[in-house]
Chain A
Amino acid sequence: MSPETSVSPALISDLSQIVGDQYVIWRSGDLLVYEYDGSIDKATPQAVVLPATAEEVAEVVKIANKHGAYIVARGAGTSLSGGAVPLRDSVVIALTRLTDLVEVDAENRVAIVEPGMINLHLSQQVSHLGLFYAPDPASQKTCTIGGNIGENAGGPHCLALGVTTNHVLGLEVVLADGSLTWFGGTERESTGYDLRGAFVGSEGTLGIVTKIAVRLLPKPETTHTMLAAFTTMDGASNTVSEIIAAGMVPSALEMMDRKTIDAVEPFYHPGYPDEAEAVLIVEVDGLKEAVEEQTETVLAICNKNGAMEIREAEDEETRAKLWETRKGAIGAYGTIAPTYYLVDGVVPRTKLREVLQQVDQIAAELDITVANVFHAGDGNIHPAILFNDRNPEEVKQAILAGAKILEACVAAGGALSGEHGIGIEKQAYMPLVFNEEDLKAMARLRTAFIGESPADAPIAVPSLGERFNPGKVFPGGAVHGEAYGITPESFRPTGTHDWQ
């Protein structure tokens, strides 16, 4: 079989005219890396284009329209929900060549960046001005700010500072018809509907971001990091609740369980106590006096809840050491099993213990390994289901476990996702939280964005709504685990847990 024949030569030739031959990828071997993201789903795109400017992105969208092709924007491809997996023979627009820092206004703490800029690079490039960009996904060394917009990404320090949407001032977007427009600007609030707020977290289904105006923050005077080991998960969970109840919002409040400790030990040799069942990282920052006051409170609560060991860091180097295991945890799961499926659910902070116990039960029932490393402060859990993707039975069990865990989260009054998005993974679960009217109302937004198909459009033009990133977010779009033989009927949770 010659895979090249499935590609329309006219499409490739049109795309090459816009970006140049070397930036159009279409040979099957070259497409492999674009089949995946950070999730367990995959699909092969028709072609991948790497434009260099916003104008080129706009032209590429017009070409795709002309050929009736679906479009998927892609940043670094680290999405954990299948957000960047190109379904339905899409043309992938990879934004990795748009990496410029367009403007920094230190006096007003505003930056404008291109979507392909790596998250961490922004903070590095404004560091000499005493500023930083707050949203810090654990993947920040690789993920792009465009991808962060797509998923409304969070991170350890989003507890006090808020997630991506709270830091975005404006977006330059290529719409479905290939036109370029700005949503918002560089001011905190703009006239008219909050299109930037509607766009952030829309998972690439409404358009393609080509510039992003963000807020920067001044670096805090003092930062104090504490790491406490507990003999029980309960001790750690109670500590989390009591810190929140004490009327403080630390800058980060992260937890790791025993399995995660086991996974990181051989990599980083942190030497956590053998009896530790949970490790908590608490960071407070701000004025020296405020940090001192909060540190005292946190230490007292940790001790009260039976912390067996507490480590503290004032300086950057020690701090990096304390964070190392947390930041490297997901990578370290490779020592336990070949593949991980990182579930992202949210529960009310008061229900953390209860839901984590249910996660344990689900793992036991399905005889599957689950490790936990998560944003405890905001109740955002990340059970990592560890399995062997070469064993179809294990894959099924993993997906079933994910579904059950998410159902437990929403049943506890929580959410299907805190930061990884719905993507392919959770679209079938959306009815757990939203009824048909809710979903219809959301779909109307997409219709408004995508508009009517032009009268002279080729027959193949995607139906209304689904031009960008088809098969995502809305139920019925795609099947999570299809590549592993999962069918739509396999696991479709049936309950409803209306959050109201």
Chain B
Amino acid sequence: MSHSLDGFTPTSVENPETLEGLSNSLAKIHGASLSAVPWGGGTRIGVGNVPSGYDVAIDLSSFTGEIEHEPGDMTVIANAGVTIGRLNNVLAAEGQRLAFEVGNPANATVGGSVASNAPGHRQSSTGGIRDWVIGMQTVLADGTVTKSGGRVVKNVQGYEMHRLNTGAFGTLGVISQVAFKLLPLPAEQQTIIAWFDEHDTAREVGMRFVNGLFMPEAITLVSGPAANKVISASGESAPAERTYALMARVGGGIRAVERQVNEVVGAIGAQGAIGYAVLSDDATAHAWNELDGVVYTAGLAVRFISRTSVALNAALDIESHPAIIDAGSVSSIVDLGFGSSTITATPPDDETVLRVARIIREKLSEKPGSYVIEKCPLNVKQDMDVFSDVGSSIDLMRRIKAEYDPTNTLNPGRFAGKI
């Protein structure tokens, strides 16, 4: 794996396999006043500002150790380098799974997913990763090993450093090990996809579930070319016009799934969907993967998190902006359960991407919520903070960074507010 990032190529790469090795690597880097970027599978390494320094890559992909799964307690402890895919395979053997999903689980690691607070479709119902992290071990910039939380599903013992480090993008310490609370695998799962020619109709149907009888495991409203893609991926023929696809994945026991499917199909029918399909297992996986693919292949992807209605309106507002329409295929993927919209675009060149990014940033800045530019070319990163403004708590965040990494060794400049 190349460890180049935003125009930087590190002078050396550390590949620790043990805790001691990791601690020694950090002590060495720290002692030499160098700066370091921790790497997991590299699936989300591009999320973040341009580093202010980058001498050493700490590649954690060999930091895998033992997976400690306690099926009876529904918990697992895994090292940073274990991939989410492998971890889920181990858990599935006992009928369990991680509560959250990430894109590209075959490559995404525990450490990288937690550090970057990776989003996934199941967040509609189970929330973000941080709600499932019950304990953590981190190695501070100077090599000091520390831990917080515990290995039991419920624990309040001291400050929840594991919450602070989730989504801190490795700026406070290198996550070496994480303890997760787990969920049982559902007996059955099905996905229903329905498409509409009116945004409002699709939205109304979706919101009725989110606020009503049950929360689907994942529920997403897709518009633009991405909608056509997922419809095709489901084996259906997508309409030629702009369309709005509502995807709902339901899970549970056989009877519960049957009821949920009936409810969703009933609501879709009553609201006059243009078409719908109840997907087989394979088609389900294919359709959701296709949705992830839209984000990976986009030139620009911005994720905005807000109250669901605000997230929906923001997506609509941006998609209908003339300059953005002109710039190239714009799609939005709104998670109705979680309250987030990911806006993707594929403008023809970097200059257009920058123009579009500026418009999006301006639009989103007016709205209550947070955003992060998940994918963009270097010129965008050089132009703006890829994270939204954190407001008045920025001073406190800087003090926190200064407490844990006073020498600015870890991921310098890459975090919100260029921390």
Contacts and interface: CB of A to CB of B under 8 A. Distances in A.
Partners in one complex: yes
B305 interface: yes
B154 A419 contact: yes
Given A201-B159, A247-B184, A448-B396, A187 B137 contact: no
A248 B157 contact: no
Nearest to A129: B211
Interface string B240-258: 0000000000001111101
Nearest to B128: A189
A54 to B, nearest CB: 14
Contacts of A413: 151-152
B155 A346 contact: yes
Given A107-B211, A292-B255, A499-B150, A434 B158 contact: yes
B409 interface: no
B159 A109 contact: no
Contacts of B270: none
Contact of B253 (A201, A293, A473): A293
Contact of B150 (A189, A200, A249, A414): A414
Nearest to B304: A187
A6 B396 CA distance: 36
Interface string B127-145: 1101100010100100011
Contacts of A426: 157
A154 B167 contact: no
B339 A108 contact: yes
A185 B370 contact: yes
Given A107-B211, A201-B156, A414-B152, A190 B184 contact: no
A166 B256 contact: no
A110 B391 CA distance: 21
A183 interface: yes
A294 B71 CA distance: 19
A286 B214 CA distance: 7
Interface stretch (B1-9, B50-58, B285-293, B398-406): B398-406
B156 A108 contact: no
Interface stretch (B192-200, B326-334, B382-390): B382-390
Given A286-B214, A348-B72, A249 B128 contact: no
Contacts of A294: 253
Given A191-B416, A441-B161, A418 B154 contact: yes
Contact of A445 (B153, B258, B403): B403
B73 interface: yes
Interface string A187-200: 11111111101101
B160 interface: yes
Contacts of A106: 211
Given A198-B164, A379-B154, A500 B370 contact: no
B235 interface: no
A194 B419 CA distance: 14
B396 A221 contact: no
A442 B338 contact: no
B181 to A, nearest CB: 9
A289 B148 contact: no
A440 B142 CA distance: 14
A437 B154 contact: no
A316 to B, nearest CB: 19
Contacts of B260: 287
Interface in A164-213: 165-166, 175, 179, 181-183, 185-195, 197-198, 200-202
- Identify which of A108, A413, A426 gathers the most chain B CB atoms within 10 Å of its CB: A108
A500 B369 contact: no
Nearest to B258: A289
Contacts of B371: 191
Interface stretch (B35-43, B306-314, B316-324): B306-314
A289 B253 contact: yes
- Identify which of A347, A418, A444 gathers the most chain B CB atoms within 10 Å of its CB: A444
Given A182-B393, A434-B147, A247 B163 contact: no
A190 B158 contact: no
B117 interface: yes
Nearest to A414: B152
Nearest to B74: A244
B259 interface: yes
A191 B159 contact: no
A380 B135 CA distance: 16
Interface of B is mostly: mixed
A439 B158 contact: yes
A188 B419 CA distance: 22
B392 interface: yes
A451 B155 CA distance: 28
Contact of B154 (A158, A185, A350, A448): A158
Given A198-B163, A292-B255, A346 B305 contact: no
Given A108-B308, A165-B160, A188-B127, A193 B154 contact: no
A99 to B, nearest CB: 24
Given A189-B305, A473-B158, A350 B70 contact: yes
How large, as a class, is the contact surface on chain B? 35 or more
- Identify which of B256, B309, B415 gathers the most chain A CB atoms within 10 Å of its CB: B256
B60 interface: no
Interface string A342-354: 0000111110000
Interface string B348-380: 000000000000000000001111100000000
A430 interface: yes
B207 interface: yes
A264 to B, nearest CB: 24
B93 interface: no
B183 interface: yes
Contacts of A430: 157-158
A190 B305 contact: yes
B22 to A, nearest CB: 14
A416 B154 contact: no
A202 B164 CA distance: 12
B213 interface: yes
Interface string A457-489: 000000000000000010000000000000000
A380 B154 contact: yes
A198 B163 CA distance: 6
B347 to A, nearest CB: 24
A442 B150 contact: no
A378 interface: yes
Contacts of B130: 189, 194, 197
Given A154-B154, A415-B150, A107 B309 contact: yes
A187 to B, nearest CB: 5
A220 to B, nearest CB: 8
B82 to A, nearest CB: 15
A442 B154 contact: no
A186 to B, nearest CB: 6
Given A187-B370, A192-B394, A105 B158 contact: no
A182 B391 contact: yes
A166 B133 CA distance: 11
Contacts of A107: 207, 211, 307-309
Contact of B152 (A152, A188, A347, A442): A347
5 contacts: A107-B308, A191-B387, A197-B160, A286-B214, A287-B252
Q: Lowest 4 A-B CB distances belong to which pairs? A: A197-B163, A415-B155, A247-B184, A350-B72
Given A188-B305, A195-B397, 17 more contacts: A108-B309, A165-B160, A187-B307, A191-B371, A193-B167, A194-B166, A244-B74, A289-B253, A289-B255, A290-B252, A346-B154, A375-B154, A415-B155, A418-B154, A433-B157, A441-B146, A445-B161
Interface of B: 70-75, 77, 95-96, 117, 123, 127-128, 130-131, 135, 137, 140, 144-148, 150-161, 163-164, 166-168, 172, 177, 179, 183-185, 187, 207, 211-215, 252-256, 258-260, 305-310, 338-340, 368-372, 387-394, 396-397, 399-400, 402-404, 415-417, 419
